[in-house]
Amino acid sequence: MPEIIQTNPKILGGQPVIRGTRIPISRILALIGMDYTLTKIKRELPDLKKLTKKDILNILSYYQTQIAN
Protein backbone atom coordinates (compact mmCIF):
# COMPACT_ATOMS: atom_id res chain seq x y z
CA MET A 1 0.00 0.00 0.00
CA PRO A 2 1.42 3.42 -0.91
CA GLU A 3 2.48 5.79 1.89
CA ILE A 4 -0.30 8.21 0.95
CA ILE A 5 -3.03 5.66 1.75
CA GLN A 6 -3.98 4.76 5.30
CA THR A 7 -6.54 2.33 6.67
CA ASN A 8 -7.62 2.38 10.29
CA PRO A 9 -10.78 0.78 11.65
CA LYS A 10 -11.31 3.88 13.80
CA ILE A 11 -11.31 6.23 10.78
CA LEU A 12 -14.34 6.01 8.48
CA GLY A 13 -14.87 2.39 9.42
CA GLY A 14 -11.55 1.32 7.92
CA GLN A 15 -12.09 2.84 4.47
CA PRO A 16 -8.82 3.78 2.78
CA VAL A 17 -8.16 7.49 3.32
CA ILE A 18 -5.45 10.00 2.53
CA ARG A 19 -2.92 9.59 5.35
CA GLY A 20 -3.47 12.10 8.15
CA THR A 21 -6.96 13.06 6.96
CA ARG A 22 -10.49 11.71 6.91
CA ILE A 23 -10.70 12.16 3.14
CA PRO A 24 -11.57 8.82 1.52
CA ILE A 25 -9.58 7.67 -1.46
CA SER A 26 -12.91 7.04 -3.18
CA ARG A 27 -13.51 10.81 -3.13
CA ILE A 28 -10.20 11.41 -4.91
CA LEU A 29 -11.01 8.73 -7.49
CA ALA A 30 -14.46 10.27 -8.05
CA LEU A 31 -12.94 13.70 -8.64
CA ILE A 32 -10.42 12.24 -11.07
CA GLY A 33 -13.32 10.51 -12.83
CA MET A 34 -14.97 13.92 -13.22
CA ASP A 35 -11.81 15.21 -14.97
CA TYR A 36 -10.57 17.27 -12.01
CA THR A 37 -6.96 18.34 -12.34
CA LEU A 38 -4.56 18.25 -9.41
CA THR A 39 -5.09 21.99 -8.99
CA LYS A 40 -8.88 21.59 -8.91
CA ILE A 41 -8.61 18.73 -6.39
CA LYS A 42 -6.49 20.92 -4.11
CA ARG A 43 -9.01 23.74 -4.47
CA GLU A 44 -11.91 21.39 -3.68
CA LEU A 45 -10.08 19.79 -0.73
CA PRO A 46 -7.74 22.39 0.83
CA ASP A 47 -6.44 19.84 3.37
CA LEU A 48 -4.63 18.22 0.44
CA LYS A 49 -2.49 21.23 -0.47
CA LYS A 50 0.62 18.99 -0.35
CA LEU A 51 -0.83 16.33 -2.66
CA THR A 52 1.47 15.68 -5.62
CA LYS A 53 1.12 14.12 -9.05
CA LYS A 54 3.23 11.25 -7.73
CA ASP A 55 0.68 10.70 -4.93
CA ILE A 56 -2.14 10.59 -7.50
CA LEU A 57 -0.19 8.09 -9.61
CA ASN A 58 0.46 5.93 -6.53
CA ILE A 59 -3.25 5.96 -5.65
CA LEU A 60 -4.23 5.01 -9.21
CA SER A 61 -1.58 2.31 -9.39
CA TYR A 62 -2.69 0.82 -6.06
CA TYR A 63 -6.32 0.69 -7.13
CA GLN A 64 -5.42 -0.74 -10.52
CA THR A 65 -3.72 -3.68 -8.79
CA GLN A 66 -6.69 -4.07 -6.41
CA ILE A 67 -9.12 -4.28 -9.32
CA ALA A 68 -6.90 -6.74 -11.20
CA ASN A 69 -6.84 -9.17 -8.25
Ordered by where they begin, the domains of the chain are: 5-68 (1.10.10.10)
pLDDT tens digit sequence for 11-50: 999 999 999 999 999 999 999 999 999 999 999 999 999 9
In this structure, which long-range contacts are made by residues 44-51, counting pairs with CB atoms below 8 Å and at least 24 apart in sequence? 47/18, 47/21, 47/23, 48/18, 48/21, 48/23, 51/4, 51/18
Cα-Cα-Cα-Cα torsion 29, 16, 61, 2, nearest 10 degrees, comes to: 140
**Confidence (pTM):** 0.88
